[in-house]
Chains A and B, each alone.
Chain A
Amino acid sequence: MIEIHDLSRTYGAVKAVDRVTLTIEKGEVFGLLGPNGAGKTTLIKMLTLLSRPDSGAFTVAGFDASHPSEIKRLIGVMPQENNLDRELTARENLLIYGMLHGLDGLERRIEGTLEMVGLLDRKHSVVSHFSGGMQRRLLLGRALMTEPAVVFLDEPSIGLDPQIRRQMWDLIRKARIDGRTVVITTHYIEEAEILCDRVAVLSKGRLIALDSPAGLKTRVGEYVVEFVNDEGRLIQHMCKSRAEAQDVSGHIENGVTIRRSNLEDVFIKLTGERLE
């Protein structure tokens, strides 16, 4: 569905995205995982035609950047920032968006979208009166309103409480069931593990690993041996198997724990950075 080849983007002296090459398959939930400044948002901005690459190329459903209108008709975008018109109502926001995208049967679509994100009863409320969670849900609804083939979700659950976050996840799963390709950036490990079929790990603009969450763990180590050293530092040692973990832990005197690894462990192992 999306082919990215050698894509780069530099801001001043900083290489925000550095020669990234990857393919996103049709119908998968694809995660871009990395800490702040890893290049996730810049990559999404290029794929959604908000930012021009310095070099490299990409296609969405076979269309390259020289066919912007075709790409824009295929995609829905939920940005990291809230870019709703705060002084307009929920209905007015969706009405304008629907008109910009040339949709028919707008009132029906608006009702359907608001019902999907649980905001039908707030249809005529001004968005500035919404809570943060309600605004994020409306943003997601707006991105899905055009029934796009590809949905880009940039940190969809950032700043949300756990209950609302789970509601967002349900909506994202529904988008996948409906056959959409979902590209999601996140620095929430749990989100990536639960939602994503495959995950690309980015660090300082570079793609450093790409696999399913389970595949990444298998490759880097499925078990973690943890202990606190004499200086009070938490030491983590990743092992390929439980037997190896037990072997490693046998050399440590006390306070040692063996547990299954998660994506954060994988990330730290690959990048030396912690997700914050």
Chain B
Amino acid sequence: MTRLMEWYPIYLKEMLLFKRKLFKLGYLFSAMVVPLIYLVAFGFGLGRSVQTGRGTYLDFLIPGLVAMSSMNNSYSWVASSLNLNRLYFKTFQVLVQAPISPFSIMIGEVLAGMTKGLFASVLIMVVGFAVSTHFRVTPLFVMTLFLNCFLFACLGIVTGMVTKSHEDTSTYSNFFILPMAFFSGTFFPVDRAPTVIKWIIYIMPLTHTNMLIRSAHLDGQGVASLVVLLVYAAGFFAYGSHLIGRYSE
């Protein structure tokens, strides 16, 4: 195997484990239940009174749910499994002791997280096509989705490497991922938020994913959001690789 493909066994392992989970009904249910609850609660309930500026609320909500789902699944799968594999199952140590680079470990884990995030996103997209006649998947939508999965899988690596117990993973999720899901424009437009809150909202990467994923084309604001996402992705990737490279028990 060439150095360029050193990541593949890690990806293959994660996919073999993922395949086993897919055959369990509970997994599919758990991947879909949260976005579906939001869809019902907001899309068919609270959100009816929300003015989004253009189209129906469902047209606004579905891309946001896809972005949120891709974030949740890419992040949680990687953070949780890396944390468990490092601290409890010790299978991460097999990777560290193999003659492959930390960069390859990072790539393998991130690609596996992305695949899981994309899988969950596709499930929501199928629901989106069923309930919203205006839901469209454009090349910009697909690119943003991939970038979002990559970014949050990288963040998952960082969390999985720095947490000292499995409980810590939930804490990080409650402090960073959950607020992001609600305040980054998934459910409501962010442009009417108070100025101070808006600054905080614009720091969150999911805000820029939501803006970009809803754009019909890449305008000036879209380019700015793309740059923010790329900077976050590069930062998380570099830091995750660094943490793997510096790993020591």
Contacts and interface: CB of A to CB of B under 8 A. Distances in A.
Interface of A: 45, 48-52, 68-69, 72-73, 75, 77, 79, 81-88, 92, 96-97, 99-102
A85 B17 CA distance: 9
Contacts of B9: 96, 99-100
A101 B8 contact: no
A99 B248 contact: no
10 contacts: A50-B93, A51-B249, A81-B90, A83-B90, A85-B17, A86-B89, A96-B13, A99-B9, A100-B10, A100-B94
A39 to B, nearest CB: 13
Contact of A102 (B91, B99, B101, B249): B99
Interface in B1-53: 1, 6, 8-10, 12-13, 16-17, 20
A169 to B, nearest CB: 24
Contact of B99 (A73, A83, A88, A92): A73
B17 A102 contact: no
A79 B97 CA distance: 11
The 4 A-B pairs with the shortest beta carbon distances in the complex, nearest first, are: A99-B9, A83-B90, A100-B98, A72-B99
Contacts, number: 65
Interface residues of B, number: 24
Contacts of B94: 83, 97, 100
Contacts of B16: 88, 92, 96
Given A85-B13, A85-B17, A85-B91, 6 more contacts: A50-B97, A69-B99, A86-B89, A96-B16, A99-B9, A101-B99
Contacts of B93: 50, 79, 83
A243 to B, nearest CB: 50
Given A79-B90, A101-B99, A88 B249 contact: no
B100 A100 contact: yes
Given A79-B90, A81-B90, A87-B17, A52 B248 contact: yes
A102 B6 CA distance: 8
Contacts of A84: 91
Contacts of A85: 13, 17, 89, 91
Nearest to A142: B94
Interface string B151-176: 00000000000000000000000000
B7 to A, nearest CB: 10
B8 A99 contact: yes
A77 B96 CA distance: 12
B95 interface: yes
Contacts of B20: 87
B98 A50 contact: no
A49 B249 contact: no
A69 B232 CA distance: 30
A99 B12 contact: yes
B13 to A, nearest CB: 5
A51 B249 CA distance: 5
A101 B89 contact: no
A72 B6 CA distance: 14
A81 B93 CA distance: 11
B101 to A, nearest CB: 8
A83 B95 contact: no
Contacts of A50: 93, 96-97, 248-249
B206 to A, nearest CB: 31
A255 to B, nearest CB: 49
Contacts of B249: 45, 50-51
